[in-house]
Amino acid sequence: MFKIKQNVERAVQIATDPELRARSIAQLEKKLELNRISLLSSLLAFVALTLIYMMDREDPHSLKLMFFIGFVTLCSLLSYTSYFNRLVQLKIEEARDCGKATD
């Protein structure tokens, strides 16, 4: 419970402090790029394993490996969308603050 309270306080602090928000945006952009690379590599591995499974006369070991890499690909996709959503949220808050400053 205490960890959740800390996370909420940190999120509010990042949303209200422009310097922390800019640093957080930079970190999220780096993480997003790494997740994009991870997602593409796991997707390529999944396609390759699918082809190996089909060509190898449906070997059960290849099937298990294919399911595992499919799970890794799904986790990478979920992580990517999570980081992307957080980045969009921070960019929207930054744009709102810039709009308020110019008014």
Name the residue ranges covered by the structural domains of the chain. 42-95
Crossing angle of helices 18-55/2-16, nearest 10°?
110
The confidence score (pLDDT) of residue 77 equals 92
Phi-psi region of 59 (alpha: psi -120 to 50; beta: other; left: phi over 0): beta
The confidence score (pLDDT) of residue 103 equals 53
CA distance 7 to 28: 16
Handedness of CA 71, 77, 38, 53 (dihedral sign): positive
In this predicted model, what pLDDT tens digit does every residue of 23-64 receive, in sequence order?
A: 888 999 999 999 999 999 999 998 888 888 888 777 778 788
Cβ distance 89 to 13 under 8 Å? no
State the pTM of this model: 0.74
Please determine, for residue 18, whether its predicted confidence score (pLDDT) is greater than 90: no
